[in-house]
Amino acid sequence: MTGRTGQRQAGRARRAAAAAVIAAGTVLATPGTVLAAAGDGLPKQPRIADLATGGAECAPGEDRPYVETVPQVTARLYGPGGGQPGEASRVRGEFEAWWQGEGGAEERVSMTTTTMHDTAPFTWQLPSTVPDETVVSWRVRAVNDAGASAWSSEGAGAPCEFVYDRTRPDAPVVTSSDYPDDDTWTPGVGVRGTFRFTAQAEDIVAFAYEFMGEPPRTADVRPDGSAEIRFVPRKSGRQILSVQAQDRAGNRSARADYTFLIGEGPAPVARWKLADAAGSRSAAAETGTAARAGAGAAFGAPAPSGTPLTSTASLDGTGHGFLTPGAPVVADTAKDFDVGGWVRPERVDGTRTVLSQDAGAARAFTLGLTQAGSGPAWSFAVGGARITGGLPETGDWAYVLGQYDAETGTARLYVNGRAVGEETAAVPVAGQGDFQIGRARGAQGYRDRWQGEIGDVRAYDRIVVPEELTALATRAAQRVGHWALDTAPDGLAPESDGGAPLKLGAGASVYRLDDDPCDPFDPFCDRDWPLEGDGHLRLDGVAGHAATEAPVVDTSGSFTVSARVRLTDDAPATPMTAFSQGGEHGDAFKVRFDPENSSWDLVLAHADEPGAPETVLRRIEWPDGDIGSGHRVTVVHDASANQVSFYVDGSKDAEGGTAALDTAWKSTGGLQLGRGRTADGWGEQLKGVVDGVYAYEGVLSETQISQLP
């Protein structure tokens, strides 16, 4: 008897002994393992729910999946314990697949896995000989030393089926009557259009599509093999829509590119600048119908600076303070529309209406302000839905726009070009009544009257896109001060346009290049070159400063202040303020160099009080040591966004260059160069050079900031 034959006989003897023990009702176990009792040693029949074809559920007949590659099939198998917790079984999986060959004969392939714990998934990558366009069936069973389970297809089970489909479908046909592909320009920015996709094969289940510059999306196929999608162009110019048909196996067709030309968005359906002559009893319409003015509406009121408006209308908040064209302007409130305008409230108590449209004894929509949980808020209501957000403030201009998106069925509210509040689902009501400026219809008549100014009212029967909204709401920054610091006759550095001068204090002087006695050709000449122009301001770091008598910018509103600064020392000992503006105890803003961190800092006190909390934005920079052109440091406060930004040499840090600021206050002191407020009074004197100081009412863009000299 050979060694291998002896091993086989010994193995059979051990299995026979184990079987006898089990038959006698004895359980053999090792720690953590439970063996099944007699009669239950066979693995369990695999369940259909535990089988998958390439990630798709096992299914026969019409529910069978279609796959674009030869799939890997997966099964969960169970030993005698049926996968119960604490029971360990080891099994192997026997897979079998079959199909009808080209000659009609059945072809079969099979595979047996290695023995594994029944907690592991059992897989089989089917061979590449699996034919395409043919129904393939497969099944599996579990096997151990005691025998094999029933096949998964036996009894209440069924074979799993699939079809391997590797053929790409034909590209779809794309059409649109709203935006034809015929090289003609269609007025379309903000105008929703419909595009139709038509399949060229029967097994198409979806269309993948993508507009140029937009994220990819998919559209489901309707029973007739087509799909329709809606799209709002956001920019004028050439647009390309790319579409692919996708079949049930996941194959995608070649791309069908549909090109169309988008013109500028249609003009508002109604617009009133409200810049009519004082004493007029109606407002001329740029488009639409002239609006009759009540006795409480007066023309010739101030307009927001930095806009094309020259004047606005003022409403007194009484029953006579209104304007109306006596007709609707939003023809169908169930479709896309936007309404908006420039407003400045004189009062922010109660509910006050800027724009509305009658709907019988109620209104279809209202735009204005109302009282929210924390106080007044801007408001846009459509039907019974209302969205609120932003903070209306007495005497502050804001551009307010309400938008209803019929495609999503939602209302949106924008203040100064930014979305506020949360987009809200709305069910519009029919509103074919008159359009109103300054009041809203109620059961007992008109109510919720506006008190303050309104200008440039517009109504659109389309979506106002973000780029248009930015243009409508932008107020160009207005320069309120520029000090070249080239001269200072009688100790006064003039403002370029004749505004308030900067008065030089002790330790401050203007250096001019043409006053320097140093010979530029002398190798020992240490000439002081101006940072900009013909001269600059030198400060001694002890008492040197220059200041205006009154504030230059309103620190509670939007402003931009910038200066070029060079430090004399390469290792300053104490903080030094380049410029500031504040009150009696603190600075609404100051820009200083902090030697401890080797950084330029923007510091903003939250109140004009000793020890008030501060917001600090920091930019790491080495000190200059009186060499080079220094740094242009710029502070920007955007009151409409309640945020402040800090730029050094035309750029800001991606993180930490901007911060929220809802504690801005109106300073009473003048603009200071070379010093700032401290706990002990004036301090932090700058030892260095300041030049090219600019101040603006409003927000300079990043491009404009980078272009400052």
Identify the pLDDT of residue 517. Answer: 58
Q: Would you state the structure tokens that stand for residue 644, as one six-digit string? A: 């402040």
pLDDT tens by residue, 422-435: 999 999 998 889 99
Residue 119's pLDDT band, with cuts at 50, 70 and 90, is: confident
Q: What residues contact 401, with CB distance under 8 A and at least 6 apart? A: 338, 339, 340, 341, 367, 413, 414, 464, 469, 472, 473
Tokens of 200: 């060229």
Q: What is the dihedral of CA 212, 214, 215, 220, to 10 degrees?
A: -80
CA distance 585 to 592: 17
Residue with tokens 């104490």: 574
Predicted local confidence at residue 37, as pLDDT: 34
Token pair recorded at residue 75: 């099964």
Q: Are strands 185-187 and 256-263 parallel, antiparallel or unpaired?
A: parallel
* pLDDT score for 16: 37
Cα separations in angstroms, 117 against 35, 53, 64, 93, 121 = 14, 21, 29, 11, 9
List the structure tokens of 248: 């049930």
User: What confidence tier does 656 reach under pLDDT thresholds 50, 70, 90?
Assistant: confident
Q: What percent of the chain clears pLDDT 90, i.e. is strictly above it?
A: 84
Mean local confidence (pLDDT), 121-140: 96
Radius of gyration of the chain (CA): 39
d(CA 634, CA 652): 10
> Tokens 């010739």 identify what position?
300
| CA atoms of 111 and 96, how far apart (whole Å) | 7
Q: Residue range 632-653: average pLDDT?
A: 94
Instruction: Name the pTM for this structure.
Output: 0.78
List Cβ neighbours of 431 (8 Å cut-off, separation of 6 or more): 328, 330, 333, 357, 358, 359, 363, 364, 365
Angstrom distance (rounded) from CA 165 to CA 232:
36
The residue with tokens 């930490």 is: 656
CA distance 544 to 165: 84
What does the pLDDT read at residue 25? 31
What amino acid occupies position 115? T
**More confident of the two residues 381 and 2:** 381
Residue recorded with tokens 């080079």: 628
pLDDT tens string 66-115: 999 999 999 999 998 776 666 668 999 999 999 999 888 999 999 999 99
**CA–CA distance, 695 with 552 (Å, rounded to integer):** 7
- What pLDDT sits at residue 81? 79
> How many angstroms separate the CA atoms of 42 and 147, rounded?
6
Tens digit of each residue's pLDDT (9 = 90 or more) over 361-416: 999 999 999 998 889 999 999 999 999 999 999 999 999 999 999 999 999 999 99
677-699 confidence digits (pLDDT tens): 999 999 999 999 999 999 999 99
Residues contacting 199, CB < 8 A, separation 6+: 169, 172, 207, 221, 225, 226, 245
Other CB atoms within 10 A of residue 443 CB? 8
pLDDT greater than 50 at residue 591: yes
Terminal-to-terminal C-alpha distance of the chain: 103
3-state secondary structure of 244: strand
Q: Shortest CA distance to 274 belongs to which of 257, 291, 258? A: 291
Q: Taking Cα atoms as reference points, which of 550, 610, 541, 548 lies closest to residue 578?
A: 541
Asked if 565 and 630 count as a contact pair (C-beta separation under 8 A), the reply is: yes
Cα distances (Å, whole numbers) of residue 421 to 30, 310, 407, 618: 65, 31, 20, 31
Arithmetic mean of pLDDT, 260-276:
97
Q: What is the mean pLDDT of the chain?
A: 91
Q: What is the pLDDT of residues 519-560, one digit of tens each?
A: 555 565 555 666 777 889 999 999 999 999 999 999 999 999
The one-letter amino acid code at 120 reads: A
Which residues contact residue 307 at a Cβ distance below 8 angstroms, ignoring those fewer than 6 apart?
A: 342, 456, 475, 476
Q: Report the DSSP pairing between strands 160-164 and 66-67.
A: parallel
pLDDT of residue 547: 98
Which residue type is seen at 408? T
For 580, residues 6+ apart whose C-beta sits below 8 A from its C-beta are 587, 589, 590, 591, 592, 671, 672, 675, 676, 677
The rounded percent of the chain whose pLDDT value lies above 70 is 91
How far apart, in whole angstroms, are the C-alpha atoms of residue 321 and residue 440? 12
Beta strands in 296-361 (DSSP E): 297-301, 312-316, 323-324, 337-345, 352-359
How confident is the model at residue 533, as a pLDDT? Answer: 75
Q: CA nearest 207: which of 163, 245, 177, 169?
A: 245
pLDDT at 120 over 90: no
Confidence of residue 24 (pLDDT cuts 50, 70, 90): very low
Q: Reduced to 3 DSSP states, what percent helix, strand and coil does the chain have, rounded to the nearest 5? A: 5, 45, 50
Mean local confidence (pLDDT), 324-330: 97
What is the rounded average pLDDT of the residues 163-179? 97
> Is residue 630 helix, strand or coil?
coil
Which CA distances in Å does 471 have to 54, 324, 371, 404, 467?
52, 26, 29, 20, 6
Q: What ranges in 86-227 are assigned the alpha helix state H?
A: none
DSSP character string of 512-531: EGGG--S-TT-TT------S
- How does pLDDT run across 468-526, given as a tens digit for each residue? 999 999 999 999 999 999 999 999 999 999 999 999 999 999 988 766 656 555 565 55
Chain centroid to CA 405: 18
C-alpha distances in Å from residue 647, one per residue of 272, 560, 563, 634: 39, 11, 11, 5
CA 287 to chain centre: 33
The answer to whether 122 and 140 have CB atoms below 8 angstroms apart is: yes
pLDDT in tens, 440-461: 999 999 999 999 999 999 999 9
- pLDDT given at position 6: 40
Per-residue pLDDT of 202-247, as tens digits, reads 999 999 999 999 999 999 999 999 999 999 999 999 999 999 999 9
Strand 375-382 to 90-100 pairing = unpaired
- Per the CB < 8 A criterion, the answer to whether 411 and 385 are in contact is yes
